[in-house]
Structure formats: C-alpha cells, structure tokens
Structure 1
C-alpha cells in the first residue's frame, strides 16, 4: 500500500510524518512567547488569520533547544489536532515521498523521546524512515516524568 510521507530533519535525524496529517509547510517569521507554557511550546504565531501554537520538536523529544532561536524564518509543518492548529518546528523540510509499505516495528532502541512519538519504521524510496506521530510531538514529554 503506497502513501505519501513528508520527510523532515529533527535534531539531525531524518524522519517522516504522514503527509495526510500535514496542512502546509511554512516559515515562522514572528513568535510570541507564552508565559508558563510547557518547555516544548516555543510560543504563538499567526498564519492566515489564525493562531498557531508553535512546538519546538527538539524540546518535545528531549533533545534540547535548536541551534538557533525559533522564529525569523524557521521551517515548520502545520498540523491540526483535535480542532487546534500547531506549527511543528523542524530543522529542515526535505521532501515528499511514497511509503513503500505499512510501518513495521522498530528493531532497535531509539531513546525515550523518539520511542514516545514513533509509529514504526517505514520503507521509502529514500530508505528506511522513522514515522512519527504529530500528536505525540504536540503533547511533549510526560510532565509526571519531568516532575520526578
């Protein structure tokens, strides 16, 4: 079964998102901080008269902050989850390719952040890619684990 996936780079790793979950790919020009927000919430931004909550994918995965501050031309993938719009900050938006089958279990340990968002390993025309769940990125790390 062939289906499209969006290939992105997060924290130096090439991964994929189901293209059906992606509304658009944008550059974030301005970012408004949100006081007391979870650490992976980079802030708010506007896109075509709607407010986007901007998620720093590196922080959501426990990889620390990106090399540059979010905003000012940062690439983001826009998704809608439960009626809310989010911009997922990524290092690079690479390509849209065909998945050459269904996701399969990942045969190795990925680390806590990646394992939390992994839907499986999918074969593609550019090689095997970790397919990730946008909703899990938006949810960020388990806050109970952070508090412990």
Structure 2
C-alpha cells in the first residue's frame, strides 16, 4: 500500500487519516455554533473565506468530550463536496503506511469498529485507519442503521 498518512490521536488512540483525503491542516479560528445541530458538530469556522463544518471527532464517535484542550489545529477534509475541519486530540505527523490494512483486534469497542476500516502499520507504529465519511456521519447515523435493520 505504502501511502502517506496524517497521524492523529483521537481519544487516546493513534489514528491514520489518508493524506490524499486531507486537504490541509489549519490553526482553528473562531468557531461559530450552529443552533439545533447535533452535539458532535461544534459549529462552523472559516478557511480563506470558505465555511468549514467543525466536527469534534470524540463526540462523533459517541465518546465523552475531551477533559483537556484539544490540539489547536484541525485536519481539513472534503467529503461529498462539503468541507469539514476535524478536531482531534493531537495531530502528530505525516508518515508512510507499510502494507495493507489488517483486521482490527478486539477490545476497541463498537464506536471504533464503526469508523475504523482496519489496523495499518506505519513508519511510526500501528494505527487505526479511519473512514472519514463514517466519522463525519456521527454516532446518530450508526443508531439509525441499527433501528432500520430491526
């Protein structure tokens, strides 16, 4: 596989975001709340006069909010033509993946199995490979699928 990955930490886990999907990493500016939006959407911010929807990745997983200040930077991605700023605990570095994604061993929980497509080995160690569309969909999308299947 040998692809570039943006390494980040979300809820204490090392995560890999495919670099070809990450348009940039920005310093977060002012976030303006959006009334009646789901809790995982922190609001909107601007990047070069373009509005970005700000996603809190911890809340998008269905986990608790961070008890400390998140990284002041965010990964900017575009899914379906819509730009998003992903707020993570920490953005580490860019590195190269080694090989193909492998199966995720147990113990990560249902939150992670919803958004991780596999475990990837990188130059800096193993990480969960994140499906950006799944994390942007938020925890309610998963609950809606479960309800529809029942």
TM above 0.5, one fold? yes
Give the root-mean-square deviation of aligned CA atoms: 1.8
CA contact (8 A) 2:114 2:142 kept: no
* Match of residue 120, structure 2, among 122, 128, 132: 122
Q: TM-score, normalised by structure 1?
A: 0.90
Q: Which moved more, 1:100-109 or 1:75-84?
A: 100-109
Q: CA deviation at 1:144?
A: 7.0
Aligned counterparts of 1:69 and 1:108: Cα–Cα separation in 2? 29
Count of residues paired in the alignment: 145
Q: Aligned ranges for residues 1-148 of structure 1 at < 5 Å?
A: 1-68=1-68, 74-143=72-141, 145=143
Q: Which moved more, 1:48-57 or 1:101-110?
A: 101-110
Q: TM-score, normalised by structure 2?
A: 0.89
SS of equivalent to 2:112: helix
Large movers: runs of 4+ above 4 Å: none
CA contact (8 A) 2:5 2:19 kept: yes
Shift in alpha-carbon separation, 1:69–1:45, aligned structure 2, 3 A: farther
Gap runs ≥5 in structure 2: none
Q: Which has the higher helix share?
A: 2
Gap runs ≥5 in structure 1: none
